[in-house]
Amino acid sequence: MNTCPSIRLSTVEIPVENLDRAASWYRRVLDMNQTWSDDGHALLEPSQKAGKFLDLGVKVLLVLTAAAERLAIRNSRTGVVHGVLDVETDDLAGLHALLRSRGVALDPLGEPVNEWAPRGFPFQDSEGNVFGVYAYTGAP
């Protein structure tokens, strides 16, 4: 019987139009450390100072591209734009306030659209990649 070797998510590759602007955004907004870069890439890792509040749990490799595509999915039934990457938090209001204080444009926290859905909000990085944040607990 063949068994699958163990695997784990290590690095998320994110398309960016402006490498310096994007790397600066990830360092400033998500407290990530830039550990390496060249003309077309920048590798960032979770910072020790960020603690668990902003730890994405993976490395981020920013990849310079002239292509217009960004990480986002438009639901063809509802028209809602979803992030490709969703992160869960125990303090949705706290994370919303922190991101807003760091200059991220955010809509006010709303209620879930569906009764089965957690409460959450989307946000974009400096390059237009969409992320989702959600919580099943801690909603006011």
**In this predicted structure, what is the pLDDT of residue 130?**
93
Q: Do residues 72 and 129 make contact, with C-beta atoms less than 8 angstroms apart? A: yes
* Domains in the chain, CATH or no CATH each: 11-64 (3.10.180.10), 73-135 (3.10.180.10)
**In this predicted structure, what is the pLDDT of residue 138?**
42
Tens place of pLDDT per residue across the chain (140 aa)? 688 888 888 899 999 999 999 999 999 999 899 999 999 999 999 877 655 556 667 899 999 999 888 888 888 998 888 888 888 888 899 999 999 999 999 988 877 766 777 888 999 999 999 999 989 864 44
